[in-house]
Amino acid sequence: MTLHINDEEREFLLHLLKSEHISLLDELHHTESYDYKQMLKQKDELLKSLKSKVENNE
């Protein structure tokens, strides 16, 4: 899949991904449920992957 976005859209998308990552880390820190923590960790990996792809224009 190819997604064509301009620089402004790319920067905005990066901002959203970074904000979500910070929020997710905070939630992860305050969560006691093992299953929920595992789900959050999976989402964190997905966010990292997306962020990397957007930063590298993949």
| Predicted local distance difference test score (pLDDT) of residue 3 | 84
| Predicted local distance difference test score (pLDDT) of residue 57 | 77
- Tell whether 26 is covered by a domain: yes
Record the tokens describing residue 24, joined without a space: 């997710």
Of the candidates 58, 56, 49, 55, the one whose C-alpha atom is nearest the C-alpha of residue 14 is 55
What is the SS3 assignment for 12?
A: helix
**What's the rounded Cα separation, in Å, for the pair 42 and 36?**
10
- Tell whether 29 is covered by a domain: yes
- The pLDDT tens digits of the residues spanning 1-58 come to 888 999 999 999 999 999 999 999 999 999 999 999 999 999 999 999 999 999 987 5
**What's the rounded Cα separation, in Å, for the pair 4 and 22?**
26
**What's the rounded Cα separation, in Å, for the pair 41 and 55?**
21
- Tell whether 2 is covered by a domain: no
pTM of the entire predicted model: 0.81
- Tell whether 1 is covered by a domain: no
Indicate the number of domains in the chain: 1
